[in-house]
Amino acid sequence: MRRVLACLCLIGVTSAPAFAQDVDHGGALFQTHCATCHGADAKGQGPLAGALILQPVDLTALAARHGGEFPLERVLKRIDGTDPLVSHGSPMPVYGPYFEGVANTPMKLPSGQPVLVSEPIADLVGYLQSIQGAE
């Protein structure tokens, strides 16, 4: 019986929608933690953009720059700091510790591989996905 329940739980995680997120909370997180560099409209022209070594990218065009597919794995790694970007003089993201949290929110990569991330990361990524192609 335990084996059956374990299998059902595993199936539930891997067959669930990509992930559950609160896009509104993600937008608020973006405005608090990201807009200073990426701009309130996420197009890369935040008030501190000029002070950075590498200019922030237009986050509304991530999918367009990757053949129409949102680069989920790369975005996750940039936010959680496992793919550092040293445009601030230190690894991206500046607010990495805030986003670390407890990795208890399931997400599914385009390959089908399930990953667990913190709820703030899931919410922020949900927001970023929602603004793709925004004019």
Residues 17-38 have pLDDT tens digits of 445 689 999 999 999 999 999 9
Task: Identify which of 63, 49, 32, 66 has the alpha carbon closest to the alpha carbon of residue 131.
Answer: 63
CATH of the domain at 95: 1.10.760
Instruction: Say if 135 falls within a structural domain.
Output: no
Q: Within 13 Å, how many C-alpha atoms sit on residue 23's CB side?
A: 7
Considering the domain boundaries, does residue 10 fall inside one? no
pLDDT of 72 reads 95
- This prediction has a pTM of 0.79
pLDDT at 92: 60
For 40-53, how does the pLDDT look when each residue is reduced to its tens digit (9 = 90+)?
Answer: 999 999 999 988 88
Number of domains forming the structure of the chain: 1
> Which tokens in the block code for residue 61?
């065009």
Listed as ranges, residues in the chain with pLDDT below 70 are 1-20, 85-96, 135
Q: Which domain covers residue 53, as residue numbers?
A: 17-130
